[in-house]
Amino acid sequence: MIVRESPIGDIVRVNRTVKEFTDTGTFDEEYFLQRCQGKTSLFLCAYEGDEPIGYSVWYDKEGDGAFYCWMAGVNPEYRRKGILSAMIDFGIDFAQKRGYSHMTIKTRNSRREMLSYLVSHGFCIVSVEPAESVQENRILFSKDLALKQGKS
Residue 149, in any domain of the structure:
no
> How many domains are contained in the chain?
1
What pTM was computed for the model? 0.86
What pLDDT does 24 receive? Answer: 61
Residue 151, in any domain of the structure:
no
| 93: nearest Cα among 11, 3, 9, 1 | 3
Residue 110, in any domain of the structure:
yes
Residue 49, in any domain of the structure:
yes
Residue 152, in any domain of the structure:
no
Residue 25, in any domain of the structure:
yes
Query: How far is Cα 69 from Cα 55, in angstroms, rounded to an integer?
Result: 11
Task: Give the pLDDT confidence of 25-41 residue by residue, as tens digits.
Answer: 667 788 888 888 889 99
Residue 150, in any domain of the structure:
no
Task: Give the pLDDT confidence of 36-87 residue by residue, as tens digits.
Answer: 888 999 999 999 999 999 999 999 998 899 999 999 999 999 999 999 999 9
What pLDDT does 103 receive? Answer: 96
114: domain CATH number?
Answer: 3.40.630.30
Task: Give the pLDDT confidence of 113-133 residue by residue, as tens digits.
Answer: 899 999 999 999 999 999 999
Which domain covers residue 60, as residue numbers?
Answer: 2-144
